[in-house]
């Protein structure tokens, strides 16, 4: 199915994990895809090759999105290169987990700047482009932790809850211009982010998930691509892809 042919997509943090699968599935549907990464170029190069195998155009842009000027430059670079931006997937994210007793100002700021500041900066930069096109699909990756909270993740939960509130507000402001803004809220998903968690805690996590297993990045990506390709009348929503861990 090539229903995204002619569309240009950006996937932040698209070099590995959930973002990689989002980028690959968008490419399989025919979109040209720009992926972004912060530091691990070999992952980006590998994903780039896989995207190109779908016969679409692909670029990888190194940018630290915790810095707003770099996030804005990334959007400008794609627009200058390909002349439009139809789909923006804000997926880049980090954790720095500590209980409130141990959390430092740097832990707070790094996570808020990366996870939430980047979403504001890319959305604000892409806005005029999408307004001019009278078309845009923005999908922000939040987390069930932004809905439910989670021990040791005050910074991460605040960033992800902020994404949900931001998504609804931007959706309201741009709805009449044929720009939709939605959030996907994954549950525990098998990527390197989850691999950082010690094995004994992973077992406890699985016990919390009604479906009895972690999510796969492909499963999150399918929901993102649905919104990008078929979600024309869906805006301001948070769609949970979480195995039932939060209902
Ligand atoms: N995995 C889960 O269980 C889970 C659950 C709920 C929500 N999520 C959310 O899903 C998204 C993807 O998670 P994941 O598990 O796939 O993560 P991941 O495997 O750790 O990959 C993170 C990606 O983000 C990039 N990145 C990190 N900081 C960045 C920065 N400052 N600027 C630009 N790129 C940056 C990384 O680039 P480099 O490789 O170059 O560092 C990498 O491409 C995140 O927003 C996360 O919060 C994940």
Identify whether the C-beta of residue 193 lies closer than 8 Å to the C-beta of residue 167. Answer: no
Identify whether the C-beta of residue 212 lies closer than 8 Å to the C-beta of residue 206. Answer: yes
Residue nearest ligand 1's atom 29 by CA: 38
Residue 112 CA, ligand 1 centroid: distance in Å: 13
Residue 228: the pLDDT is 98
Average pLDDT value for the chain? 97
Q: Which atom of ligand 1 is nearest to the CA of 145?
A: 6
Note the pLDDT tens digit of each residue in 111-164.
999 999 999 999 999 999 999 999 999 999 999 999 999 999 999 999 999 999
Q: Of 235, 243, 236, whose CA–CA distance to 209 is shortest?
A: 243
Note the pLDDT tens digit of each residue in 37-55.
999 999 999 999 999 999 9
Ligand 1 site, CB within 6 A: 12-13, 15-19, 36-40, 43, 63-66, 91-94, 114, 141, 143, 186, 188-189, 191-194
Q: Of 228, 192, 181, whose CA–CA distance to 87 is shortest?
A: 228
Residue 130 CA, ligand 1 centroid: distance in Å: 25
Mean pLDDT, range 82-100, rounded to an integer: 98
**Domains along the chain?**
8-239 (3.40.50.720)
**Is the sign of the CA dihedral 34, 38, 41, 46 positive or negative?**
negative
Residue 1: the pLDDT is 76
Residue 170: the pLDDT is 98
Give yes or no: 156 in active site.
Answer: yes
Location of structure tokens 């390909």: 82
Residue 90: the pLDDT is 99
Residue 7: the pLDDT is 98
Residue 6: the pLDDT is 97
Mean pLDDT, range 208-217, rounded to an integer: 97
Mean pLDDT, range 204-213, rounded to an integer: 96
Mean pLDDT, range 96-121, rounded to an integer: 98
pLDDT value at 99 more than 90 = yes
Residue 26: the pLDDT is 98
Q: How confident is the model at residue 193 (pLDDT cuts 50, 70, 90)?
A: confident
* % of the chain with per-residue pLDDT over 90: 96
Residue 167: the pLDDT is 99
Residue 196: the pLDDT is 84
Q: Which of 17, 196, 202, 243 to mutate to test the pocket of ligand 1 (most atoms within 8 A of CB)?
A: 17
Which residues touch 25 (CB under 8 Å, ≥6 apart)?
218, 221, 222, 224, 225
Identify whether the C-beta of residue 13 lies closer than 8 Å to the C-beta of residue 42. Answer: no
Note the pLDDT tens digit of each residue in 61-80.
999 999 999 999 999 999 99
Q: How confident is the model at residue 94 (pLDDT cuts 50, 70, 90)?
A: very high
Residue 121: the pLDDT is 99
Q: How far are the Cα atoms of 34, 36, 83, 178, 184 from residue 92, in angstroms, in the given order? A: 13, 8, 23, 25, 13
Residue 2: the pLDDT is 78
DSSP state of 153: B
The DSSP bridge pattern shows strands 87-90 and 136-141 to be parallel
* % of the chain with per-residue pLDDT over 70: 100
Identify whether the C-beta of residue 61 lies closer than 8 Å to the C-beta of residue 85. Answer: no
Which residues touch 89 (CB under 8 Å, ≥6 apart)?
9, 10, 11, 12, 14, 19, 22, 26, 138, 139, 140, 141, 224, 228
């Amino acid at each position: 199915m090539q229903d995204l042919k002619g569309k240009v997509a950006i996937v932040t943090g698209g070099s590995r994990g959930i973002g990689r699968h989002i980028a690959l599935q968008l490419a399989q549907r025919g979109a040209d895809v720009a992926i972004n990464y912060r530091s691990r170029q070999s992952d980006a190069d590998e994903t780039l090759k896989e995207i190109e195998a779908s016969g679409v155009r692909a670029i990888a842009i190194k940018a630290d999105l915790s810095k707003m000027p770099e996030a804005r430059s990334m959007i400008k670079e794609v627009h200058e290169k390909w002349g439009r931006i139809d789909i923006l997937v804000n997926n880049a994210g980090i954790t720095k987990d500590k209980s409130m007793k141990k959390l430092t100002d740097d832990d707070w700021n790094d996570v808020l700047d990366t996870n939430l500041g980047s979403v504001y900066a890319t959305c604000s930069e892409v806005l005029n482009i999408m307004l001019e096109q009278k078309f845009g699909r923005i999908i922000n990756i939040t987390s069930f932790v932004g809905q439910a909270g989670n021990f040791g993740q005050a910074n991460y939960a605040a960033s992800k809850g902020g994404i949900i509130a931001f998504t609804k507000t931007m959706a309201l402001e741009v709805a009449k211009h044929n720009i939709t803004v939605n959030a996907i809220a994954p549950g525990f998903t098998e990527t390197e982010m989850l691999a950082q968690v010690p094995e004994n805690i992973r077992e406890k996590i699985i016990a919390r998930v009604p479906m009895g297993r972690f999510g796969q990045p492909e499963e999150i990506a399918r929901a993102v691509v649905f919104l990008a390709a078929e979600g024309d009348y869906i805006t301001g929503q948070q769609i949970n892809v979480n195995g039932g861990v939060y209902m």
